[in-house]
Amino acid sequence: VHPAKTPSGALHRKGKMAAWPFSRLWKVSDPILFQMTLVAALLPAVLGNCGPPPTLSFAAPVDITLTETRFETGTTLKYTCRPGYVRSHSTQTLTCNSDGKWMYNTFCILDTGFHHIG
């Protein structure tokens, strides 16, 4: 029985263990390392996490101290109309959906001074 050789032809033995030089391990694992890094970078996008919510001209977040930069799918943020705007009939929220985008309807409209009661 002959001892196993590394692909580079060099054999390093310590007792009965053979070891590949570190530089060779890096070359072998390079595609795997790249794939793992790619998965780690893309996983939040695949899972639907959202970045910071958009700045809306007609409304502002109720929580003025909004400092988070990542939000999980399903997160709902409450908003209030800015001065000069009034609430329409829509819910005043933004929701992080499963494709990583903030979803909302225009829930504040420009205050024209005329309000329809109906």
For residue 88, report the phi and psi dihedrals to the nearest 5 degrees. Answer: -90, -165
d(CA 34, CA 28): 11
For each of the domains in the chain, give its residue range(s) and CATH number, in order of start: 12-47 (no CATH), 59-110 (2.10.70.10)
**CA–CA dist 79, 95 (Å, integer):** 11
Lowest mean pLDDT among 10-14, 33-37, 63-67, 91-95: 10-14
Which residues make Cβ contacts (< 8 Å) with residue 98, sequence separation at least 6?
Answer: 48, 73
* pTM for this predicted structure: 0.54
The H-or-E segment that residue 109 falls in is: strand 108-110
Q: Give per-residue pLDDT as tens, 28-60.
A: 556 666 666 655 555 554 556 999 999 999 999
* Tens-place pLDDT, residues 71-110: 999 999 999 999 999 999 889 999 999 999 999 999 999 9
Indicate the burial class of 79 (C-beta count within 10 angstroms; 0-12, 13-18, 19 or more). Answer: buried
